[in-house]
Structure 1
Amino acid sequence: MTARGFLRSKDLIPEVTMPAQSAVSLPAESFEHPESRARDLHVIRRDGQVSGFDPGKITVAMTKAYLAVEGANASGSQRIRETVERLVGQVVEALTRRQPAGGRVHIEDIQDQVELALMRAGEHRVARAYVLYREERARARQDQAEPVAAQAERLRVTRADGGQVPLDEARLRRIVEESCQRIAGVEPEAIVAETHRNLYDGIPEAELGTALVMCARTLIEREPGYSYVAAGLLLDTLRREALSFLGGVEAGATFEEMAKRYPDYFIAYVRRGVELELLDPRLLEFDLERLARVLEPARDRQFGYLGLQTLYDRYFLHYDGTHFELPQAFFMRVAMGLALNEIDREERAAEFYRLLASFDFMSSTPTLFNAGTRRPQLSSCYLSTIPDDLDGIYSAIRDNALLSKFAGGLGNDWTPVRALGAHIKGTNGRSQGVVPFLKVANDTAVAVNQGGRRRGAVCAYLEIWHLDIEEFLELRKNTGDERRRTHDMNTANWVPDLFMRRVIDEADWTLFSPDETPDLHDLYGAAFEAHYREYEAQAERGELRNYKRVSAVALWRRMLSMLFETGHPWITFKDACNARSPQQHTGVVHSSNLCTEITLNTSDDEIAVCNLGSVNLAAHVGAEGIDAARLERTVRTAMRMLDNVIDINWYSVPQARRANMRHRPVGLGVMGFQDALYRLGLPYASREAVDFADRSMETISYYAIQASSELAQERGAYASFAGSLWSRGILPIDSIRLLAEQRGEPLTMDTSTTLDWDALRERIRRTGMRNSNCLAIAPTATIANIVGVSPSIEPTYRNLYVKSNLSGEFTVVNPHLVEALKARGLWDAVLVNDLKYFDGSVQAIERVPEPIKALYTTAFEIDPNWLVEAASRRQKWLDQSQSLNLYMAEASGPKLDALYRNAWRRGLKTTYYLRSLGATHVEKSTVADGALNRVAAAPAAPACAVDDPECEACQ
């Protein structure tokens, strides 16, 4: 709808022309508030005045619209009353969801929600009557409307001290125009006009800034450039807040003014942060004036709105609710925090700052949260094994709480804990099994929520032979005994190869209690199989108390069924993780982490720690492909930053410090993979994209391993280097052979290379490695938002959607698609509405050319075997794993079975979430040929009819 007007609040009720006899008395219950939360909302009327929000008026408006269409005889219709009640509830829910704590909403926004609710309900005739009346009234108002400038002269702004001043219209326009500079396709006047629509007399100064931002936000769906405009407007608010807190001019500063003020602001910021005991006092030992000159204020303009709002809400330093950290100070604070132990601290801090501020690389969230602070907990992931005794279990849960408090993600290996019914020698009683303790761990993660900045999170792992596995599979169900459910905890299956072979052979599988089979936990490959078969023989002879024989296929089906129904437990592969681990000589990988990309050894004495950061792949590709020189520079600096994390990190438990100092693992990953494909013009579901996944990961892997060997030459090899695969000249690409030998059959996994790996092997033999592990691909959901690229290795979810997180709701539109459609003259309001209707898919929009449809296929329209194939190509270069989400629009048992068997055969170490769609969503979004990401019962799209070792698709 294009018409907007300026009516009194009563005009929410469409005074449609109806027969005289249609005047009716609406039932009293129609006027009741459907949501008590609505009382905290207020309505901005078109004359700038504010009144209370009354859902009863929406009820009257909708009912009259129905009567206008269906006539007076429908006035007593039970169907209409019920429909109106339901739709009003949806409108109120939408409005209160945006502002759960209450606030002000413009009358036009309420009418938009009414119109949207009618359309979504399929009430198109009623919606049309409502729209036509709105447009008619808008035209009438337009004829009578006074100029915006005249309206503005009457408005006053309430300052923080309570005083009121006239609205500074000139400054408002200057801020808007400045935020729109050098951004194509945006119109400053549109933002000014929309802002005036949301102003009212006496508006607080802070709310005025919010109104500007919100107005720009509403325009993002039609022009992605408004995301940068909204960020620029938000920056004005941030500058005002920060400078006022530090004693600056209360009016804040424009972009141009801030460019001159940034150095002085930065020095004052560091000193005040130390004074407030928020920053490490050692930051004052840096040459602050030198670092202030390094700052690049112009880089504040590169943020999109979602990225900057996320930083403001969750990352920037604040005191008593007032934020005083601006973007470039934030990046420099992190850089200084990572350079504390460097010899030339200023030079390294400047180097680290430039890398972060350029968006070529981004450290993980804990590092961004805490670097340079008094408690620098910088590591991302902690993995632990839970011992089989009460003291050990509760000590581990306590460790979870301490690690989670400072933003660590947790992976717990629960396999050693004895099963339900097992004998307890100390009390001569029977064990309650793993599940009750998992409930305690679940509630601990909820209680310790990382200071409100993000939810506490933990994943529990259990091997598939554990006698409690059947209950474990149901932990996330919404039915059953709530005392045996963990709705907030992630869960994952730890699956040995023997089980997969039993599934293929349709053989039986035996479940054991670990107190009777303790060595299975530390065994894998041939040794595991030999001991497992011996325990099965003991069970047959009656020598074991607790065991259960089940069909392997039935258990596998149940695993897949629960994965589809609840999203858990995830499926991860024990033998692939261990056979290819560089640290086989020092222990066993018993689980992965919260996001399934970390594969490190754990024991009673060591809690594994990993330190993460991600390369923005999109920033390192051009039309000709990968910019290898730039990528090498980025990776070298990034690896140094990650290695520094280990020494600077604040450890809340000693087992974590012991493991991190001994092995020094890091996990360099990637984000922006989908954006890189767009820049190269490669559809995700193509052999060219799979090949790019291979070559790009090879390049990153090569430079990361090379950088670690250079650090070893400078700083010394990690303590447990001797005996590792590295020391034996076995690199990740070489360890594929070890897994194949262990399985006794070739993997359907590519082993081709393009770089000089022999020279790198020789270098490692001479210098060693600084880090036991170098590579892991994390989900990067939040840091990708900050940088403004697609997360991790994910395909595009939708080309237009609303994203919700702790910072609120954000419209996300694919800027690459918009640019491509603009180039063909196809981007207009009609196409925006088509994208909304088809849930962000272009496949059913006839006027979109086929090449664009192929390039901008979304996640649920891609055969998931393409995701597996690309992941297999990356996995060959990784010494750890990757967070691999799999998308399936129309899941079924045979499709899931084929997909996860394919993942195992192609050498993947882990998988992450299975994403699926509801039937109604699938029906509306179905592509032109009538099917979404169809999966054959055997491996599909990228695979041939037979596994030909010479075929590119089969690799």
Structure 2
Amino acid sequence: MDAVPDLSAAAQAMLEGRYLRRGADGHITGTAADLFDEVGAFVARAEDQYEPGSADRWARSFSALMQQLAFLPNSPTLMNAGTRLGILSGCFVLPLEDSLTSIFSTLQHTALLHQAGAGTGYSFGHLRPAGDKVDSTGGTAGGPVSFLGLFDTAVDVVERSGRRRGACLGALDVSHPDILEFVDAKASTPGALSHFALSVAVPDSFLRAVESGATQPLINPRTGVTVGRVAATDVFDAICTAAHRCGDPGILFLDTVNRAHPLPEWIETTNPCGEVPLLPYESCNLGSVNLAACVRDREIDWERLTDTVRVGVRFLDDVIDVSRYPFDVLDRAARRTRKIGLGFMGLAELLATLGVPYDSDRAVEIAEDLARHIARTAHEASAELAATRGAYPAAPQVRVAAARKRRNLQVTSVAPTGSISLLAGTSAGIEPFATIGGRRRILGREVVEIEPAFTAVARDRGCYDDVVGAVLETGTVRTNPRVPADLRAAFPTAVEVAPEWHVRMQAAVQRHVDAAVSKTVLLPASASVAVVREVFLAAWRAGAKGITVFRTESVDDLSSRPRDDHVACLSCT
């Protein structure tokens, strides 16, 4: 068995603070290798129901990939495999209907899921608007935003004793009469709804109305009656202004999502970071290949990537079988479609190691080649599992013939991977480097470090000692004349990458991803509302399923958001 590579100070802090098992006295009882062995063995228990006696063999394969940091599952799997909680899925989408019974039933489900470190996504679009009548009491409704506050408070109370800060996503259809109040819910009150990311669900017709200057109807969901009209540009400008101010709301492109979904049921929301649009009660079971571990001698090791993807798909399918679901409806939904999300992290590190600037045509081509290869390999692996285990039960209902032959309705998704990429010592998801070096706080512990990929190449080029001080002070190398020009180009930070390159990269990868790609465009403090507007429109035109922006030095400090290091939701990574 391979030993776990030396971990960075940040990874060690994350490992000890979040993942390693502890005894009754609170002391750590094992190592990273022990953790990966335990997780691998627990997940591989599923193998015996398909091939008796095979669990030990697959446990070794699963553990080896994790010990090499070549593949890691989402944090709830690492945290809960083999424990009393046993919930291995990262996130769930829970329905909210227009009744107190539905709302408080969902609130109960929320509390139990967040206790286990999972995240939750909701559509608040079925709730009647504020001021609407309530026949049973003769009173008036509080509206979606008031219930957002209720859920945020409940999650805060549940998680005060937990190891993770679970995230929530609240979506609202742009046609809801309370849309402007929703859009401004976080921007108008810094620090409010700290467990929630917000997303406005928009159809193509709304964005076409923005382009043409037409109006948008406002429809009471209780009655289905249009109660008013508003200029689409006014609503869109409000969305862009709020996002510019605090990073919320993002946008969910509903028609793009549902055109790509193989089942006829309509999707209304996503998991907290947006990489998995889901039907009610469905869950996301996520894992990510470390692309940086698939480079050898400055070339992509396609064979290793293929092998890692194939084992990763098997691991995630097994997760569905061994995970505990606290409610039968969650169990049934997970098994009906068997959706998994095999994605990747380390794209920025891979590109830098190859000497390719993230913001270049060549980088976009490489990313698309990688996404295409991962998708093809993952689909083949899922089809092979279906040949021996059977397809998912909903297969006869899907609209896409090829999807009926797989074990899993959806196979690929790209998560932000903020936690597990830190553990693996690589860059997050498809994002550029957040910083090249500096101080950071990991679960209350301050660590100082420089990106390992930059350290390696700078030492090799003989410039490390000359630039290390400046890198730690500024966090960047692009403006440092002491760094060779080709290295400056290869190591941009997210804020140094122009918005159009962020969108191009997302779109190139999305073309080969079943679910979605989690993406936050990090903007400089000087970026205008017009830049936010163009990012949103460009993402829609390019075929993205959703997108968020975050401007540095915006009113809502990064530490108050349900993300880690600019982009990481703590529930699905």
TM-score by length of 2: 0.92
Match of 2:535 in 1: 899
1:339 pairs, out of 25, 44, 59, with: 44
Match of 1:751 in 2: none
Match of 2:236 in 1: 556
1:600 aligns with 2:278: yes
Aligned partners of 1:516, 1:786: CA distance in 2, in Å? 50
Aligned partners of 1:852, 1:627: CA distance in 2, in Å? 22
Query: What letter is aligned with 2:208?
Result: R
Match of 2:491 in 1: 856
Query: What letter is aligned with 1:430?
Result: T
Per the TM alignment, residue 918 of structure 1 is displaced from its structure 2 partner at its CA by 6.5
Match of 2:425 in 1: 788
Q: What is the DSSP-based 3-state SS (H/G/I as helix, E as strand, rest coil) of the residue aligned with 2:285?
A: strand
Per the TM alignment, residue 309 of structure 1 is displaced from its structure 2 partner at its CA by 2.4
Residues 333, 473 of structure 1: alpha-carbon distance in 2 compared, 3 angstrom cutoff: same
Per the TM alignment, residue 667 of structure 1 is displaced from its structure 2 partner at its CA by 0.5
Aligned partners of 2:514, 2:319: CA distance in 1, in Å? 19
1:379 aligns with 2:14: no
Residues 359, 656 of structure 1: alpha-carbon distance in 2 compared, 3 angstrom cutoff: same
Match of 1:912 in 2: 548
- Checking the alignment, whether the CA contact within 8 Å between 2:246 and 2:554 is kept in structure 1 is no
Deviations 1:11-52 (A, max 9, x none): xxxxxxxxxxxxxxxxxxxxxxxxxxxxxxxxxxxxxxxxxx
Aligned partners of 1:893, 1:912: CA distance in 2, in Å? 13
Query: What letter is aligned with 2:16?
Result: Y
Per the TM alignment, residue 478 of structure 1 is displaced from its structure 2 partner at its CA by 5.2
Match of 1:419 in 2: 129
Per the TM alignment, residue 577 of structure 1 is displaced from its structure 2 partner at its CA by 0.5
Q: Within 5 A, what are the aligned runs for 1:676-755?
A: 676-726=350-400, 728-729=401-402
Deviations 1:290-315 (A, max 9, x none): xxxxx44xx14432222122112211
Aligned partners of 1:340, 1:420: CA distance in 2, in Å? 50
Residues 821, 659 of structure 1: alpha-carbon distance in 2 compared, 3 angstrom cutoff: same
Q: What is the DSSP-based 3-state SS (H/G/I as helix, E as strand, rest coil) of the residue aligned with 2:432?
A: coil
2:10 pairs, out of 295, 306, 317, with: 306
Deviations 1:457-516 (A, max 9, x none): 211111111111111112213549x9xx52332211111111100000011112122112
- Checking the alignment, whether the CA contact within 8 Å between 2:248 and 2:548 is kept in structure 1 is no
Match of 2:255 in 1: 575
Deviations 1:332-361 (A, max 9, x none): 100111011322221111111111111110
Per the TM alignment, residue 913 of structure 1 is displaced from its structure 2 partner at its CA by 4.2
2:220 pairs, out of 507, 513, 527, with: 513
- Checking the alignment, whether the CA contact within 8 Å between 1:888 and 1:917 is kept in structure 2 is no
Aligned residue pairs total: 548
Query: What letter is aligned with 1:401?
Result: A
Deviations 1:60-79 (A, max 9, x none): xxxxxxxxxxxxxxxxxxxx
- Checking the alignment, whether the CA contact within 8 Å between 1:403 and 1:653 is kept in structure 2 is no
Per the TM alignment, residue 321 of structure 1 is displaced from its structure 2 partner at its CA by 0.9
Structure richer in helix, relative to its length: 1
Per the TM alignment, residue 773 of structure 1 is displaced from its structure 2 partner at its CA by 0.9
Residues 874, 833 of structure 1: alpha-carbon distance in 2 compared, 3 angstrom cutoff: same
Match of 1:888 in 2: 523
Deviations 1:157-191 (A, max 9, x none): xxxxxxxxxxxxxxxxxxxxxxxxxxxxxxxxxxx
Query: What letter is aligned with 1:712?
Result: A
Deviations 1:890-914 (A, max 9, x none): 2112222211111000000011342
Aligned partners of 1:370, 1:643: CA distance in 2, in Å? 17
Per the TM alignment, residue 654 of structure 1 is displaced from its structure 2 partner at its CA by 2.1
Per the TM alignment, residue 643 of structure 1 is displaced from its structure 2 partner at its CA by 0.6
Q: What is the DSSP-based 3-state SS (H/G/I as helix, E as strand, rest coil) of the residue aligned with 1:900?
A: helix
Residues 712, 303 of structure 1: alpha-carbon distance in 2 compared, 3 angstrom cutoff: same
Deviations 1:519-553 (A, max 9, x none): xxxxxxxxxxxxxxxx6xxx5xxxxxxx2322111
Q: What is the DSSP-based 3-state SS (H/G/I as helix, E as strand, rest coil) of the residue aligned with 2:449?
A: strand
Aligned partners of 1:660, 1:721: CA distance in 2, in Å? 13
Aligned partners of 2:305, 2:314: CA distance in 1, in Å? 14
Unaligned runs of 5+ in 2: 556-573
Match of 1:769 in 2: 406
Aligned partners of 2:329, 2:153: CA distance in 1, in Å? 23
Residues 301, 670 of structure 1: alpha-carbon distance in 2 compared, 3 angstrom cutoff: closer
Aligned partners of 1:583, 1:325: CA distance in 2, in Å? 44
Match of 1:655 in 2: 329
Aligned partners of 1:643, 1:504: CA distance in 2, in Å? 43
Match of 1:875 in 2: 510
Match of 1:431 in 2: 141
Higher relative contact order (CA 8 A, sep 6+): 2
Aligned partners of 2:164, 2:387: CA distance in 1, in Å? 38
Q: Over aligned residue pairs, what C-alpha RMSD do you find?
A: 1.9
> Which segments of structure 1 move beyond 6 Å, counting only runs of 4 or more?
none
Q: What is the DSSP-based 3-state SS (H/G/I as helix, E as strand, rest coil) of the residue aligned with 1:635?
A: helix
Residues 918, 417 of structure 1: alpha-carbon distance in 2 compared, 3 angstrom cutoff: closer
Per the TM alignment, residue 774 of structure 1 is displaced from its structure 2 partner at its CA by 0.6
Per the TM alignment, residue 609 of structure 1 is displaced from its structure 2 partner at its CA by 0.8
Match of 2:283 in 1: 609
Residues 428, 918 of structure 1: alpha-carbon distance in 2 compared, 3 angstrom cutoff: closer
Q: Within 5 A, what are the aligned runs for 1:232-247?
A: none
Q: Within 5 A, what are the aligned runs for 1:611-650?
A: 611-623=285-297, 625-650=299-324
- Name whichever of 848-857 and 786-795 sits farther off: 848-857
Aligned partners of 1:419, 1:809: CA distance in 2, in Å? 45
Aligned partners of 1:446, 1:850: CA distance in 2, in Å? 47
Match of 1:410 in 2: 120
Residues 782, 430 of structure 1: alpha-carbon distance in 2 compared, 3 angstrom cutoff: same
Match of 1:275 in 2: none
Deviations 1:562-582 (A, max 9, x none): 011111111111100000112
Match of 2:468 in 1: 832
- Checking the alignment, whether the CA contact within 8 Å between 1:669 and 1:778 is kept in structure 2 is yes
- Checking the alignment, whether the CA contact within 8 Å between 2:337 and 2:408 is kept in structure 1 is yes
Per the TM alignment, residue 450 of structure 1 is displaced from its structure 2 partner at its CA by 7.8
Aligned partners of 2:529, 2:269: CA distance in 1, in Å? 26
Match of 1:394 in 2: 104
Deviations 1:727-750 (A, max 9, x none): x23x7xxxxxxxxxxxxxxxxxxx
- Checking the alignment, whether the CA contact within 8 Å between 1:800 and 1:840 is kept in structure 2 is yes
Aligned partners of 1:618, 1:625: CA distance in 2, in Å? 11
Match of 2:269 in 1: 591
Match of 2:570 in 1: none
Per the TM alignment, residue 451 of structure 1 is displaced from its structure 2 partner at its CA by 4.6
1:673 aligns with 2:321: no
Aligned partners of 1:836, 1:769: CA distance in 2, in Å? 48
- Checking the alignment, whether the CA contact within 8 Å between 1:595 and 1:912 is kept in structure 2 is no
Aligned partners of 1:798, 1:638: CA distance in 2, in Å? 29
- Checking the alignment, whether the CA contact within 8 Å between 2:480 and 2:488 is kept in structure 1 is no
% identity of equivalent residues: 32
TM-score by length of 1: 0.56
- Checking the alignment, whether the CA contact within 8 Å between 2:175 and 2:217 is kept in structure 1 is yes
Residues 452, 414 of structure 1: alpha-carbon distance in 2 compared, 3 angstrom cutoff: same
- Checking the alignment, whether the CA contact within 8 Å between 1:885 and 1:915 is kept in structure 2 is no
Per the TM alignment, residue 649 of structure 1 is displaced from its structure 2 partner at its CA by 0.9
Unaligned runs of 5+ in 1: 1-294, 518-534, 540-546, 732-763, 920-955
Query: What letter is aligned with 2:143?
Result: G
Larger Rg: 1
Residues 555, 794 of structure 1: alpha-carbon distance in 2 compared, 3 angstrom cutoff: same
